[in-house]
Structure 1
């Protein structure tokens, strides 16, 4: 049976199709999507996190301390206003000129990390101080504290710079040093060094004065007491000298004078 004439005429009247010709309209049923367009999820992904460097940590710590110690505002600061001031202080630092400003959430998150890690390390450092042996200096204590931190938390303490900025603040200072009077900080400066060097000699003179008032029949016993007091005096001076020698920073003029005096006495 012959094909319907109307259908044959319709086919004959259409333009021939070739690979070089544009795609016929009836094949384009949907809008084409460029192959190089990334998925929506990739376009809306969050920005890459910026790592904090040592300089930024120190500026943030300074901003937090200065804001929390503001004598004008005091403790009457709402949390939001408090952190807005910190962020403003941080971003206005001349040391950060040319860098991308940090947002409030970034600063809060970083401070939470610093506070948590430093508080944990304070406990490790106190444990190291309790185990400190005679002759060990600050470097030995620090190494022991880092080992204790790693054993307790299975990670290395990477915020030593933050701890050094906060270690003398009330919240993060070592309670062990203030409780144990037998252990003093290695730093001995100014009038404290002179007082330490003169404390024992004053006690010795008082002891000798009281000894002279005793009866002459106890001369042998008095000599033994004098020997003990003189030995204690030497030990006290030696300890002061060891602290001055172990001090890492420069000595003041008074410390240098005391150090030379004690060295001459020990020779």
Structure 2
């Protein structure tokens, strides 16, 4: 379901870019349905879900990020008014929870020295991955040395002085 709604959002954005003066919002939605049908060869029947989600914070940020600079001034004005309403008041998206507000300039500067909790989790995950990688590299190195030792032991002709020293060193490493 989520995938189809995402695809329809893309069709809606394409229809918004094709909007001409005099077209209403309903005309844009009809065009989005046509684009969706032409692209996917099925009728979009989750319009009610899209209507619920189109004003949700996630979908608004996706829509405003995808709009390019060639839009009309009325569309820009509408977008900035919508963003302004969200930021200035505690606008609710579903009636219960306030929309997440962007961090102000002063708050971002003051909190610049502090690490957010997400970075700490990333650092601990990185440490865990690094320790696993070190163990993996050590096991590969041990296997490489075992293969070299095996080839020295299996050699039929007499070993040179260097090969004997290497064989003895590898045996003491493996046993010690």
TM-score normalised per structure 2? 0.38
Which one has a bigger Cα radius of gyration?
Answer: 1
Higher helix share: 2
TM-score normalised per structure 1? 0.26
